[in-house]
Structure 1
Amino acid sequence: MKRVGLLVLTNLAVMAVLGVALMILYAVFGVSTVDGAGGIDYVGLLLVAGVVGFGGAFINLAMSKMIAKRMTGAKVIEQPRNETEQWLVDTVRRFARQENMGVPEVAIYDAPEINAFATGARRNSSLVAVSTGLLRSMSREEAEAVIGHEIAHISNGDMVTLTLVQGVMNTFVVFLAHIIGRFVDKAVFKSESGHGPGFFIAYFAAQMVLGIAASVVVMWFSRQREFRADAGGAKLAGREKMIAALERLRRNAGESNLPDEMRAFGINGGKSGLARLFMSHPPLEERIAALRGSVRQG
């Protein structure tokens, strides 16, 4: 229930901010989705779609650390309480310095699976979290490689670039769904305004279909960044350690216990019954082969 409540509150906050932004566009800049002849104002529509598309993506990015901590129950290590926590903090600090970036917050969350994730709106203000299952099941060398993988995500700016890709996709989904909705309302339902009941039916249906298509692009990018982060982890911790970590993940393969909203940020995306196009992570076999230099990345 806490996760559901948090998602509802986040969505309400996003909608409230977007509502204010749209009112400013309408009132101050005179932006509208309808031109003087009652047709579509494509420039105005694109601006509105951009506010909705990028606004939602960047608000979620700005809140990503808070959401991640709440959804996973991750506890930030303020002062290491034992040798394992001290090693974890020292390893994150060492890799961050190698990448000339600010030291991320370091957290541990309770989960039996072997997993870790990184998130945060800025390169120098981020979070690296590992599961208790990882600390129990992996050797120090394997865990070191996983930490290197997560630091590489931050160093590569993957959270921001994924947000930009999502923003672009959101913008075109809203833009095209609006056009389809108006066309259907006028052509099928014979509405003069283009904003009758048919518009809303077609608009939401188009959003669902286009949203699925957009997710294919986002997931493709997510898979590419995993290959890059694996290479980054190999550079920081050593190629053999990175391969050993992925081999360990493959031997312990199981469904990820991370919430759906966080799964794309974990090192272990888990198995999926969906088609490859909708996978956030490439198969572990391909990631291992890529580090050995014998497979194309895709």
Structure 2
Amino acid sequence: MMRILLFLATNLAVVLVASVTLRLLGVEGYLTANGLNMTSLLIFCFVFGMAGSLVSLFLSKPMAKMSTRAQIIKQPGNSTEQWLLDTVRDLSRDAGIKMPEVGIFPAQQSNAFATGWNKNDALVCVSAGLMNNMRPEEVRAVLAHEVGHVANGDMVTLSLIQGVLNTFVMFFARIAAQVIDSFLRRDDEGGGLGFFGYFAVVIVLEIVFGLAASVIVAWFSRWREYRADAAGAHLAGSGSMINALSRLKAEHSMPDQMPESLTAFAITTGQTRKLMERLFASHPPLDDRIRALKEAAYRQ
């Protein structure tokens, strides 16, 4: 349940910090003597709602490198690294995107992720365990999946969706706080929430609405996994993609060594069993993904 929430932590932190700072500085100009100016409020929320997601997007590559301790391959030091660069180059060319940076991060579990602020300035990383545990054609399929994420523009799309949701989270939190304040206000001279009470209610409502919005983000994240699987099957072959996912399924008993903040960008996460875990899961169950690939192959 916490995986997608932790992925969104940077974005939520930016939104909350912006709300706190602007409230303390008295910058929230949408509050007037007659109540809320809806147009000003919507513009205010859009500007600062998008800021959180865009900051997360532009910081994605350096944060990924730092959190995974990934070693970027600039000059291949052995035949394995040369093969990895050549494979990503071939897949990127076939997908019609610029060659991304390629790296390996130290983890024994087979995993990989892609991130970056646009599809021609991306990063694709694989774990050391993936290179050791999978056959070359399966590694190629995993890389094709990640290149598919990049070619589909998933990172940008996810950030834009999050920015729009941030806008509505901030917007409705302030409307709800104003309604509560008006309900509690007995007359023009007193009552209501007061300055700090209104501020505290807004922050609480932003957290509550933000959790609800993250369900939508998680749904999109699961949907894009199916698209990336389809792209991987197109680039590397359905059989190899299915075999790679089956190999990942067999490793589920191992602890997940992917940093929590990057699980939405990885090829797999642990199983999701409970309803709440399924709502917030960034990835669909591997059985469902394998079934979807088999059905697509059967229809062809």
TM-score (norm 1): 0.86
Alignment of 1:31-180 (within 5 A): 32-35=29-32, 37-180=33-176
Structure 1: give runs of 5+ residues left out of the alignment: 1-6
For 1:88, give the aligned amino acid: L
Indicate the structure whose relative CO is greater, using CA pairs within 8 Å and at least 6 residues apart: 2
How far apart, CA to CA, are the structure 1 residues paired with 2:151 and 2:17?
29
How far apart, CA to CA, are the structure 1 residues paired with 2:16 and 2:195?
25
Q: CA deviation at 1:180?
A: 1.2
How far apart, CA to CA, are the structure 2 residues paired with 1:212 and 1:56?
15
Structure 2: give runs of 5+ residues left out of the alignment: 1-6
Q: CA deviation at 1:205?
A: 2.1
How far apart, CA to CA, are the structure 1 residues paired with 2:94 and 2:104?
22
For 1:166, give the aligned amino acid: Q
How far apart, CA to CA, are the structure 1 residues paired with 2:108 and 2:128?
7
How far apart, CA to CA, are the structure 2 residues paired with 1:92 and 1:181?
50
CA contact (8 A) 2:183 2:192 kept: no
CA contact (8 A) 1:189 1:198 kept: no
| Secondary structure at 2:84 match in 1 | helix
What percent of counterpart residues are identical?
A: 45
CA contact (8 A) 1:216 1:277 kept: yes
Q: Which moved more, 1:214-223 or 1:248-257?
A: 248-257
How far apart, CA to CA, are the structure 2 residues paired with 1:105 and 1:43?
42
Q: CA deviation at 1:268?
A: 1.0
Q: Moved runs in structure 1, 4+ residues, more than 4 A?
A: 13-19, 189-195
Does residue 1:226 correspond to 2:225, yes or no? yes
- Encode CA deviations 1:77-115: one digit per residue, 9 max, x unaligned: 010001111110000000111112110000000011110
In the alignment, what sits opposite 2:4? none
Q: CA deviation at 1:192?
A: 6.4
CA contact (8 A) 1:256 1:263 kept: no
Alignment of 1:207-286 (within 5 A): 207-254=206-253, 255-272=255-272, 274-286=276-288
How far apart, CA to CA, are the structure 2 residues paired with 1:256 and 1:153?
21
In the alignment, what sits opposite 1:289? 291
How far apart, CA to CA, are the structure 1 residues paired with 2:142 and 2:46?
36
In the alignment, what sits opposite 1:4? none
Q: Which moved more, 1:252-261 or 1:58-67?
A: 252-261
CA contact (8 A) 1:158 1:225 kept: yes
